[in-house]
Each structure stands twice: as C-alpha cells, then as structure tokens.
C-alpha cells in the first residue's frame, strides 16, 4: 500500500513538474526570444499603412479588383480564412473539382484574351492561404493590371521583377511573388490608378 501511494505521489510530482517546465516555462521562453530576435515574424508579419493593418505577408488574401494581382484560389473556409485553413479535399476524378477548375480557367482566360492560364491560378493550395504566385502566374496578370490602372505594362513588369523573391538560400523552393507586397507597391507608386 505504501509503495502504491509513493508511486502515485512520484507520478503526480513528475506530471506537475513537466507541465510547469514544458507547458509554461518553455513556451514563455520561446515567445520571449522570438519577440526579441524576430519581432516582426513573431507578431504575425503584419503590414500597416497609415496606422491600419492591411494584411500579413505570410497569409494570402483576396484581391478582386481588376487593377490588382490576384492570388491563387482558396478553399479555406469561405476563402482565405486563416481560422479554417485547408484544401478542398477533392480528388482528381471529382466532377466538382473539374467544374470549378474549368470555371476558374474560363474566368481568368477571359481576362487575358485566351492565353494559356498557369495551373496555379486555377487550383487551390494545400492551405488555401498561399500568399505567393509564381513569376509566370504574376506575368500572366501583368497586362490586365496595367490596362486597368492605365499605366505602361513595362512599369508593372518592373515592379514584378523587383518583388520576385528568389529560392530560399539559393536552392529551396521556387522563385515567387508576394501578391500583397506587389499590390501595395503599385498602390504607392501609382496612387488612384486601381479600380477597386
């Protein structure tokens, strides 16, 4: 009986100690270090304009106006919902997926006079929150954005080149363009040119 009570006491103390150490102390330490070393990332990588948050560079968001670059479609919740991140879970033989992709292809293709639409602009990402498109996906939209803003296409392409991020460390991933950053840059450089 004494042995069982001793084991219960040891187990209880061990549980309390590990909970305090790994459930409280360690998360607080990691949070404090992140706030000191990487404060921008630790606070959600939020961008502000005129004192108001306009979005996170890490979370995709909808841009519907024709004068803006559009991100990949999203199946997260009602679209770009960070609280409901996830893909559509539709398989390649799903009629609903085929119909949705065809409709998106037709819609995007109509904006660009029948040009071949890059696959990423008609398919959702695994999270539904991808903030980037490929340089090809951005270039596909450049003519429409320039036309709607009333600025030269070459100016839009210069901004795209400036905001094309290379592979991480020169070898991980693919080159990419952050949709939010490009749209904000266009708004700053050509104010009043976008039709919202």
Could you give the CA distance from residue 111 to residue 46 in angstroms, rounded to a whole number?
Answer: 31
Could you give the CA distance from residue 48 to residue 51 in angstroms, rounded to a whole number?
Answer: 6
Residue pLDDT, tens place only, 70-102: 888 887 777 777 777 777 777 778 787 778 777
pLDDT at 173 exceeding the cut of 90: no
Q: What is the pTM of this model?
A: 0.77
- In which band, very low, low, confident or very high, does the pLDDT at 195 lie, cut at 50, 70 and 90? low
pLDDT at 20 exceeding the cut of 70: yes
- Sequence-ordered list of residues with C-beta below 8 angstroms from that of 126, at least 6 positions apart, any chain: 86, 87
Closest CA to 187 of 46, 55, 39: 55
Could you give the CA distance from residue 68 to residue 142 in angstroms, rounded to a whole number?
Answer: 9
Q: What pLDDT, on a 0 to 100 scale, did the predictor assign at position 196?
A: 47
Annotated domain spans of the chain:
2-39, 44-189
**Is the distance from CB of 57 to CB of 131 less than 8 angstroms?**
yes
Torsion sign, CA atoms 7, 8, 10, 14: positive
Residue range 16-39: mean pLDDT, rounded? 94
Paired residues of 133 in beta bridges: 177
35-68 exposure pattern, b = at least 16 Cβ within 10 A, e = fewer: eeeeeeeeeeeeeeeeeeeebbbbbbbebeebbb
**Is the distance from CB of 130 to CB of 71 less than 8 angstroms?**
yes
**Is the distance from CB of 79 to CB of 127 less than 8 angstroms?**
no
Number of Cβ within 10 Å of residue 128's Cβ equals: 22
Could you give the CA distance from residue 21 to residue 101 in angstroms, rounded to a whole number?
Answer: 49
Residue pLDDT, tens place only, 128-150: 788 999 999 999 989 989 998 99
pLDDT at 2 exceeding the cut of 80: no
**Is the distance from CB of 90 to CB of 98 less than 8 angstroms?**
no
For the chain, give the mean pLDDT. Answer: 85
């Amino acid at each position: 009986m004494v042995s069982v009570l001793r084991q219960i006491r040891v187990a209880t103390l061990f549980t309390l100690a590990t909970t305090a150490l790994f459930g409280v102390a360690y998360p607080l330490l990691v949070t404090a270090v992140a706030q000191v070393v990487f404060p921008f990332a630790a606070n959600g990588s939020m961008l502000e304009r005129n004192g108001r948050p306009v979005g996170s560079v890490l979370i995709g968001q909808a841009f519907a106006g024709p004068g803006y670059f559009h991100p990949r479609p999203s199946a997260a919740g009602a679209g770009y919902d960070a609280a409901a991140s996830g893909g559509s879970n539709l398989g390649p033989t799903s009629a609903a997926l085929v119909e949705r992709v065809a409709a998106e292809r037709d819609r995007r293709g109509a904006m660009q006079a029948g040009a071949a639409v890059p696959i990423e602009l008609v398919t959702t990402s695994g999270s539904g929150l991808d903030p980037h498109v490929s340089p090809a996906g951005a270039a596909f939209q450049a003519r429409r954005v320039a036309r709607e803003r009333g600025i030269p296409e070459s100016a839009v392409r210069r901004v795209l080149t400036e905001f094309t991020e290379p592979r991480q460390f020169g070898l991980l991933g693919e080159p990419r363009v952050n949709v939010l950053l490009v749209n904000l840059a266009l708004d700053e450089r050509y104010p009043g040119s976008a039709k919202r």
